[in-house]
Structure 1
């Protein structure tokens, strides 16, 4: 039972302490979601490397849509690139793929994210020398960003469980359980947001300054 209470404490200490307490209270699902997220990402990398046609199809679609050209143009301005990456991670993936589906259907964001994780792995697969070298600094970005996704997945899990089984959060009705689950999702979203920002800044700086060194 998740008997965590968000009462007590204030300020920055509470912002740190509450998500940590939630992770500890839900250690098993947290570890399982980590295994799921990083495992599916790795599966995608293996599939993309083993079947280059899959990688070519996804990257080709990005080129046709203009996504690749946009990324290249933004690299000239690292801070703008970091801001754009943060907005994409928050809007298209965190909100649209994980949070919003889970607000409507219990746990719905988890399978949607699973598809995204495999697709991401295929897209970033080391199919040639250039992509292999790019993956070296970008692997840090993937670890950081996927940890942010895991925190949101944990929040989606807690929300779904609270909704279906209100007693898990000490609630009597499903409506109360939903609200308490939503509150816990909000607490976990705070460190996820911080990780998204850190990951975007590192990605912008590594692609702008570190990656060119690997090709010299």
Structure 2
């Protein structure tokens, strides 16, 4: 409970920023989704890039093994999206993870835009996946924002210099990473088993 209480306190103390990050992430995903529907070529380009880099083939091969699929999703979400998109850039350049992840949210919306009537069905359970995983990334983005603000303006976190501000901001990022990790685990399991169930039902029809 103590581990959960501290992150909640951080969110409450930075509620406006947290709500703004929610609006940015979900808003850009919805914008991308709309663009994908209006301009199918955008969706086709994004899907083709997933096929070229082997992502689509990997997903197809793992769909029949939901636990392995969940572990793969979790690994990608932690390493690629959480660490490489949010945390590591923000450790080097203040706030850098925010625009990088915002662009990812936009392209994710484009990829999710259905290309045909059958493509709408997997979106029903996958919409919950989006909500869960986005919340994890938003918590990390909030931590990245606090780190950047503490680094640039140490007094906002009660620090006397930038070095101390950086350390204290990093501590808050670490605290927010704990519930973010829990959400990513839940999201990965839900995504793997919901897609497995839906696609199995579609194959039987």
Shorter-chain TM-score bucket reads over 0.9
Tell me how far 1:209 sits from its aligned partner. 1.2
| Among candidates 26, 37, 41, match of residue 53 of structure 1 | 41
| Residue aligning to 2:166 | 178
- Aligned position for 1:191: 179
Kindly state the Cα deviation for residue 65 of structure 1 after the two structures are TM-superposed: 2.2
Counterpart pick for 1:143 among 108, 131, 139: 131
- Residue aligning to 2:81: 93
CA RMSD of aligned residues (A): 1.1
Indicate yes or no: 2:122 matched with 1:134: yes
Size of the alignment, in residue pairs? 204
Q: TM-score, normalised by structure 1?
A: 0.92
Are the counterparts in 2 of residues 137 and 211 from structure 1 also a CA contact under 8 Å?
no
Alignment of 1:5-154 (within 5 A): 13-154=1-142
Which structure 2 residue ranges, 5 or more long, are not aligned? none
SS in 2 for 1:118: helix
Structure 1 CA distance for aligned equivalents of residues 179 and 188 of structure 2? 14
Corresponding residue for residue 201 of structure 2: 213
Partners of 2:174 and 2:15 lie apart in 1 by 18
Extract unaligned runs of 5+ from structure 1. Answer: 1-12
TM-score normalised over the length of structure 2: 0.96
